[in-house]
Structure 1
Amino acid sequence: MIETQQKQLGQLLEDAIERAKINKAVQVLSITEKIDPVDPHVFFEQAKYLEKDRSFWASVPDDFYLVGAGVTFSMHADENYYQSTEKQWKQLLQNAMIHNEYQQAGTGPIAIGAFPFDYTSCQTALWEKFSGSHFTVPTYLLTKNKEDFYLTINLKITDKDEKFRLQEEIEEQKRQLIAPQQIEQVMPIMKDKLESSPEKWMELVKLATEQISQGTPSKIVIARKMEVVFEQQPVIFSVLKELTTNQTLSFVFAIEKDKDCFIGATPERLVRIDKQQLFSTCLAGTAPRGKTKAEDDQIGQRLWKDTKNREEHDYVVRMIKGSLERYCDAIDIPNEPVIYPLKNLQHLYTPVVANLKSGFSIFDVVKDLHPTPALGGLPREASLSFIREHESLDRGWYGAPIGWLDAYSNGEFAVAIRSALITEEKATLFAGCGVVKSSEPEAEYEETMVKFTPMLTALGGL
């Protein structure tokens, strides 16, 4: 079996080099094979020895993982984010040699990355390595879909490449990445925790309620940050392991660039497309978990009946339904939300299922859905105008669409909340809440403290 795979790899490399010579251009080659089980976290940790950037995506409840090692292609845009990225992606695939007999979602060449929250985002030094939209095609990609494991190798072949040298390098790096390893978790040690002026932030919430009382907008999402300092740079492997172990109903992600890493565990799917079937999530309205089942149920029922939270949730449902009507048919949305319990929080949750119409892509849907009222407010432009004028925070990729797409029109994007940007020995955490006319600044502040909890816990701060 191994000998057959090696022969096949050698022949594909030879064919790609020959095509590069004929076309006098770089040739994209993507090869997917089925492999024995590999721990995605270990694969991620071993990837650091390739001295290249890494990426990680997990839909934990679906037992679906994508782990990227290295970067073969990078797609960047500082304006027209969605159109530019889609154009670059189509160009990349146009002449690609894709050898993938499985064609399972998330195998073959994929692009993984994020768009910024807003065109005014990524303007400060904090986000300098994540400016604009940024997507990468990993050199090595591990795909875990329940019991099935796949390894995709994505290469940029030139007419100067030598088959045997390439093959030897690939085989050696594969061995390094998928060899069984026992790696110990090393939790970060936190030295300090700094909040950015809670009083000023609560004044901003009060200003938002006053603006809302005047009639427009009807909801504004206000965000803030918290900085934590460590004794040494956190081991991303350990933070990811902590998140996937404890945030079992979330999407866990990490995008690394040089020594910076944007990481999080978000419960909020923006959109998933699988064989033209579309799934989205309305998630708005938040409460803490109880210490006992009785207390937990009581808090959940209070959340479900709470006028402010139900109003906030209904905004999201109406907006998502309205946005999808252009791109989808057979839209199915339940009439009332249910309680969605996470480890530290519980939310109001309404699922959305629809069929994506022919001629539309995941880029179209993400562009129209983002930002939902859960992250921006309502109406969209009025709330974003308030945020741009008054919120001192540069959101960057916080609250933005983050996810992946493959060559077969499958993909998934989540909303990058419950997240942190790790820069060497410091992490900047982000949290926000939806402000409506009846909002109380102190209660909204406490809600953000609860929302910091998942990342603070994973970073050793709780």
Structure 2
Amino acid sequence: MTESSAIPADEFATPDVPRLVVRTTELDPDVHAGLDLLQTLPTEDATAWVRRGEGLVGHGEAARLDVSGPDRFATAVQWWDKLAESAAVRDEIGEPGTGLVGFGSFAFADDPGHSTLVVPRVVLGRRGDRRWLTTIAVEPALPTVPSLPALFGTPPPERPQGVVFADGALTGAQWASAVADAVRRIDAGDLDKVVLARDLVAVAEKPVDFRWPLARIARDYPACWTYAVRGLIGATPEMLVRLENGLVTSRVLAGTIRRSNDDARDLALAASLARSSKDLEEHEYAVRSVADALAPHCTSMNVPESPFVLHLPNVMHLATDLAGVLADGSSSLELAAALHPSAAVCGTPTPVALQLIAELEHMDRGRYAGPVGWVDASGNGEWGIALRCAQVDTQDPRRLRLYAGCGIVADSVPESELAEAQAKLVPVRDALTPDPTETP
């Protein structure tokens, strides 16, 4: 990792964070009108956060924090604050996502829980009609503007070959049995809701070029936020929290139904989802957990009384958009820490749900269902929940682990939950297999 400064977690508390020199310049909108951010991604040390062609992509590493344990968020917040305070920044634009930017991905669980926060050497950004280039160096070096043709002319991604899928920690039948166990615990009054996840292992003939599935997911699911952080790739439909110039927003998803291939049938399915007592109960727990977590940090909170149905290519979700005005100066990273884990990915009560997840899933979630996104030096940022994702195996890059989860409540039917989990695996699974609309 050229010009990278990876700082172990046990050293973050010292004042010896690197002093970064940062410069953001605006790109000519006429010359770069057709800029496709994901097509500029390098084959290694790449980071991304893109939706509908807008967002940020990063090249290389100027600095990185790797951290684990229950204090991972507090460690990252303190490290980031020190970086931002000491950085020398020249920013011609001054918008959210310009200047110093870090990309992060955090473990779901406290233990073992590997998390990371990365500051790239180069960041390309796009918002509306504006495009920009940020370069970052560790002092005493100065930022060097890279060759733009080199950035925009990265080699095309290579399609994965011969991908084979296999069950992960549990077979489908074993996972359905775990769902039945969870329902019994709920019926016994131990808890109200728990989110159970399952994994799927994909193995290719040779190391997977992550840019291929990432581009496929972004194309097929444009309404989602496509992300890549140190081998974790995916496209999430759920915005845990966005902070932009004092406005806080969050999109909560809970309650899902699989789509058919018929528009009229899908309308009927959407109506049944909106009336489903089981899904409405699950959704209410998730909304309440987010609203309660944001309330200490916000004023003028707006929490809609009823959800809407969000239509995605493979499924439909009950969704609620919350909004508030920041009251205490928290950064987007601090808000993400306050919100994790929400009932949408854990359950309620949280401590009981976490214990049951550890007992029934028989796997380490890693960074699945943890916060993933970006933060800038002003605290602005966007943090989604790492859903619809895969983790590339660092020891064997031919292997990826895919994840999907479902909210379990008293009325849950194990077979239906298994079908829902399989539907949620479709985006990444399809992205790793041949596309019949494309030529080899």
Provide TM-score, normalisation by structure 1.
0.85
- Once the two structures are TM-superposed, the CA of residue 174 in structure 1 deviates from its matched residue by 2.8
- 1:437 paired residue among 410, 425, 430: 410
Equivalent position of 2:126 in the other structure: 144
Q: CA deviation at 1:428?
A: 0.8
C-alpha distance in structure 1 between counterparts of 2:332 and 2:293, whole Å? 13
Specify the SS of the correspondent of 1:204.
Answer: helix
Name the structure 1 match of 2:84.
93
Give unpaired runs (5+ residues) of structure 1: 1-23, 123-130
Q: Is the 8 A contact 2:57 2:125 kept in 1?
A: yes
- Answering whether residue 258 of structure 2 is matched by residue 266 of structure 1, we say no
Q: Does 1:247 align with 2:247?
A: no
Alignment of 1:379-390 (within 5 A): 379-390=349-360
Correspondence 1:415-426 to 2 at 5 A:
415-423=385-393, 424-426=397-399
Report whether the alignment pairs 1:188 with 2:178: no
Matched, 1:228 2:209: no
Q: Which residue of 1 aligns with 2:56?
A: 66
Instruction: Give the conservation status (yes or no) of the 8 Å contact 2:102–2:374.
Output: yes
**In the alignment, which of 390, 414, 421 is matched to residue 384 of structure 2?**
414
* Paired position in structure 1 for 2:136: 154
Matched, 1:355 2:325: yes
Aligned mate of 1:108, from 89, 99, 111:
99
Which residue number in structure 2 is paired with residue 313 of structure 1? 283
Distance verdict in 2 for CA 1:377–1:101, change over 3 Å = same
Structure 1 stretch 194-203 or stretch 267-276: which is displaced more?
194-203
Q: Which sits farther off after the overlay, 136-145 or 93-102? A: 93-102
Report whether the alignment pairs 1:275 with 2:245: yes
Aligned twin of 1:117: 108
Q: 1:344 aligns with which of 309, 314, 321?
A: 314
Letter in 2 for 1:224: R
- CA deviations on 1:54-95 (whole Å, 9 max, x unpaired) are 1111133xx422110000011222231111111111111222
Q: Distance in 1 between matches of 2:120 and 2:183?
A: 45
CA separation of 1:278/1:177 partners in 2, compared to 1, >3 Å: closer, same or farther?
Answer: farther
Cα distance in 2 for residues equivalent to 1:91 and 1:176: 34
- Quick check: 2:18–2:83 contact (8 Å CA) kept in 1? no
Q: Distance in 1 between matches of 2:303 and 2:17?
A: 49
Q: Secondary structure at the match of 2:38?
A: helix
SS at match of 2:74: helix
Q: Where does residue 212 of structure 1 map in the other structure?
A: 186
1:176 is displaced (CA, Å) by 4.8
Say which is worse superposed, 388-397 or 262-271, in terms of deviation.
388-397
Q: Which residue of 2 aligns with 1:41?
A: 38
Residue 193 of structure 1 and its aligned partner are, at CA, apart by: 1.2
Code of the residue aligned with 2:417 in structure 1: it is: E
Q: Deviations over 1:259-284 (max 9, x none)?
A: xx210011000000000100001210
State the match for 1:3 in structure 2.
Answer: none
Residue deviations 1:217-255 (CA, integer Å, cap 9, x gap): 111111110111112222222222211111011010111
Contact 1:223 1:393 in 2 (8 A): no
Q: Does 1:78 align with 2:68?
A: yes
Range moving further from structure 2, 99-108 or 77-86: 77-86
Amino acid at match of 1:102: I
Q: Tell me what 2:3 maps to.
A: none
* TM-aligned CA deviation for residue 25 of structure 1: 9.9
Aligned residue among 345, 352, 368 for 1:375: 345
Q: Distance in 1 between matches of 2:78 and 2:17?
A: 19
* RMSD (CA atoms): 1.9
In structure 2, list runs of 5 or more residues that go unmatched: 1-15, 436-440
Cα distance, 1:333 vs structure 2: 1.6
Maintained 8 Å contact 1:190/1:228: no
* 2:36 aligned partner, one-letter code: D
Tell me the distance in 1 between the aligned counterparts of 2:214 and 2:325: 33
Per-residue CA distance 1:182-227 (angstroms, 9 max, x = gap)? x655432334211232222111111111111111211111111011
Q: Which amino acid aligns with 1:251?
A: W
**Deviation of 1:307 (Å):** 1.1
Which one has the largest radius of gyration? 1
Residue number in structure 2 paired with 1:32: 24
Letter in 2 for 1:429: L
Measured against aligned partners, the alpha-carbon deviations of 1:106-140 in whole angstroms (never above 9, x if no partner) come to 11111101111011244xxxxxxxx2x21011000
Contact 1:121 1:395 in 2 (8 A): no
Using structure 2 for the length normalisation, give the TM-score: 0.89
Give, as a single letter, the amino acid of the residue that structure 2 aligns with 1:235.
D
SS of structure 1 residue aligned to 2:215:
helix
Q: Distance in 1 between matches of 2:327 and 2:148?
A: 43
Which SS does the other structure have where 1:244 is aligned? helix
In 1, the alpha carbon distance for the partners of 2:161 and 2:192 equals 42
**Secondary structure, aligned partner of 1:325:** helix
SS of the residue 1:326 aligns to:
helix
* Percentage of pairs with the same residue: 29
Match of 2:368 in 1: 398
Give the whole-Å Cα distance in 2 for the aligned partners of 1:114 and 1:371: 14
